[in-house]
Structures are given as C-alpha cells and as structure tokens.
Amino acid sequence: MDSLRVEIFTPREKRAAAAFAISLLVLGLSVAWALRGAVHPAPPAAAHRYGQFMFVSGTEAYALAGTSDYVLHNQDLPLAQVSAYHTTDGAQHWQRLAMPAGAQGLPLNLQPVPGGGVLLTAGDPVGANASSFWFSRDGGSSWRRLNIPTASRGTHVNLLDARTGYMLGHEDAALTVYWTRDAGASWRRTLSLDAANPVAGDLSISGPYLGPVFDDTSHGWIMSGSFVPRPGGARPVLLRSSDGGTGWHEVPIPAPPDKSFTLDVPVFPQNGPHGFLALGGAAGMLIYETVDGGQTWSPPYQTGVPWFESDAQSWVYSDGRYLETSRDWGRTWTRTLAQLPALGLALGHVVPAGPVLWSFPNGGGSGSDSGSQTVLLRSADSGASWSRARWPGV
C-alpha cells in the first residue's frame, strides 16, 4: 500500500505524515501503528546498522541504509554513510543507487510511485535547508528533477502516478497545497493558509493537525487534535476535502476517543469506497469502518493489538516471537509461532507485501531489534517460517 510530526511517530502515521518533512530518524513504512514514545536511548559504543524500507511487492523493495540508528545524535558518525538501494529479487541482491547529478545532501526518502517509478527526496537530514525532489522511471538508474513552485524546509511532494501529484508546504505556521498534472511542468495552488488567514471551512491551522493526505486529485483528509496520548488532549476531528484541498468540512465519527488518543487518517486499501480509520486511545486501538468512501463511519470496535501493518489482504502484528494475522480487519486474529532461521533472532516490525511478509528492526516495540542482531527477514508462507534476507550494502 501506500506509504508522513515526531512527538510520537507510529508506522501507520508515517503514511499520514508524508505530509510533513521526512528525516532519517523516521524508520519503516506507511500504514501501521505503534503506540510508543519517541525517546531515544543513549548512543551505543559501536555503530549499528539501520534501515528504512519501502516494500513494493514480495520481490521488489527500496531502502535507505546506514551504519547507526543514532546518526543525528552522535556527531562522531559520518552522515555520508547513508545510501539508497533497490532490489527486484527478494533482497538476494541490492543495487546501490547513485545520487542524481546536482542533488545536494543525502537521500532522505524514497517513495515508490503507483504505476511504476520512484520519487527521491534529497537534502539535509537535520532540516536546515530545503529538499529537492527527483523522479526515476527505471528504478533509480536515471533521474529527472521535479520542479516545484516553492522550496522551504517543510516542503513535501507526493506522487499519485508518474504525472500527477501534490506538494505540501509546512513552515512558519503556514500550509500550502499545490497540484501538478504534467509531471511538475506546471503547478496549481489550491490552498494557502497562514497565521493571518488560518481558516478554510472547518479547518483551522491554529491548532495541531495531521495531513493533508489525498486519495486522488479531489479527495483528501486531515485529522485535527492531539498527537500524543495524554490527558487533556482535544477530541479528534476528521476533515475532508472534495476539491483538491481548497475547502474542508468535518465528517462526524461516532463515539470518538476523548482526551487521550493518537491520530491517523483514513485508509482505503483498494482505492474503493471500503476503508477504515484507526484511532488509539485509553481503551486501546479503535477501528472505524466506512463503505461509502468516508461519508459515514460505523461505531468503532477494538482490535486487541497495540499496532498493526496492513495491505488489501491482511493485517499483521508481532510481539517478536509470535505473528498475529487478521483477515477480517482486526476483528479476530490467528497466532502463529514464528520459526526463525537462527537462535537469538526475533521478529521486528512486520509488513505484508502481497503473499510475502517482511520483518525489519524499527527501533521500538517488542522484538523490534530482532533479538541481538539487526537483520532483514522474509516469509513466503504467511509467517510460518522465515529466512534471512540480505541487508542493503552488506
């Protein structure tokens, strides 16, 4: 599937948080949750491998890989060790991608583009300068720079296909939305809000919000409210646009969590009218379901797991030793004891990609460090058995 504020950054929120600047500290992919704090432990004595993975299928993936989880917290570790990679054979081999000529800084994010291709964000990992954006149709062998109407530290671009995409600008209490339908040759502005003009319909950027994230050129979502589960947080408010981001109106959700919750935006796994919204609160993770494209939402039910990853076929969760799988949108779960290739390993963050499951360490949560070793694991039998896949650059 798809595919991004860091008070608490859960894997599912990464897809939503594609609306914001992405740094090297954001590890993992889009559509799952993990209710965890964003507190970093003390830097280790020796450098550790880390990776940010974007899985396209059971055989194809992109990765950003380096040699330390603490690359922004330990000045003795060179940032230049971060590289971008691509595999098309199930991680048996990784091709290191050369940075585009003229790109400044490091590879910060790789977004697989629906229909083929990949979008590279390059720039300063500490956000001191504006990023640049580069599109490749051939898996990163050649690059074309995407011209954007404005450039700032809070600029993010998301492509819906090779020619259509939107640009978000978040800086100095401002929000702008631009659209292109000709691969960046021209852009049309649909929204411009700032401190002097903070309101568009039911949207006000004077308070915290997550998004926007657009499903197509017309329909987009924003969730406003608190970003961390803490007492006193404002209730979540779901906002929808039907005109590319110019106007926003509230969509009521029944029995929303009160005071203590974590935000997400709606997910439509097959780009159809059937979708879900996951909100974590004091009562656990709540799932809201829609069958009419998000116009109305059913009363929520609890999933029984603290986070999950999903694709069109299944939802998955792991505590490190066991894999739990749901095929009815989190209502019931099947538990499987993971058969791992060696002692000392544990499942990390598990991501479904069609018939294949991937597991990688993401730096937080049970089993996320794969035991005592940093490894990439792959399963082709629904998680019953796992094999070690090659780590990028090793």
Segment 153-184, tens digit of pLDDT: 789 999 999 999 999 998 778 999 999 999 99
Q: Which residues contact 101 (CB under 8 A, 6 or more apart)?
A: 143
pLDDT at 203: 94
pTM of the full structure? 0.82
| Position 59 pLDDT exceeds 90 | yes
**Strand-pair category, 106-112 with 118-123:** antiparallel
Query: Can you give the pLDDT at residue 10?
Result: 36
Question: What tens digit of pLDDT does each residue of 5-35 get?
Answer: 222 233 343 343 333 332 222 322 232 322 2
Burial tier of 92 (Cβ tally within 10 Å: 0-12, 13-18, 19+): exposed
Distance from CA of residue 236 to its chain's centroid?
A: 20
CA distance 93 to 80: 22
Amino acid at 391: W
* pLDDT for 270: 82
In this predicted structure, what is the pLDDT of residue 206? 85
Rounded Cα–Cα distance for residues 262 and 260 (Å) = 7
Q: What's the rounded Cα separation, in Å, for the pair 92 and 194?
A: 48
- pLDDT tens digit sequence for 295-304: 999 999 999 9
Mean local confidence (pLDDT), 260-277 = 85
Helix residue ranges, H only, the chain: 11-16
pLDDT of residue 333: 96
Cβ-based neighbours of 173, under 8 Å, separated by 6 or more = 194, 195, 198, 205, 206
pLDDT of residue 234: 65
Q: What is the mean pLDDT of the chain?
A: 80
Q: Tell whether the model's pLDDT for residue 198 goes beyond 60.
A: yes
Q: In what order do the strands lie in the sheet with 349-353?
A: 349-353, 356-360, 376-379, 387-389
**Span 336-378, pLDDT tens digits:** 999 999 988 999 999 999 889 999 986 543 333 444 566 899 9
Amino acid 4: pLDDT: 26
pLDDT confidence band for 37 (50 / 70 / 90):
very low
- Tens digit of pLDDT for each residue in 77-118? 444 478 999 999 999 999 999 999 999 888 999 999 998 999
Quote the pLDDT of residue 208: 81
Domain extent listing, the chain: 40-144, 306-394
Give the 3-state secondary structure of residue 241. Answer: strand
DSSP 344: T
Task: Confirm if 14 and 30 have CB atoms less than 8 A apart.
Answer: yes
Rounded Cα distance between 247 and 164, Å, is 20
Segment 190-203 mean pLDDT: 94
Confirm if 156 and 210 have CB atoms less than 8 A apart.
no
Query: In this structure, are residues 367 and 320 in contact, taking their beta carbons and an 8 Å threshold?
Result: yes
Q: What is the predicted pLDDT for the residue at 5?
A: 24
Whole-number pLDDT of residue 259 = 57
Which residue has 């949207």 as its token pair? Answer: 203
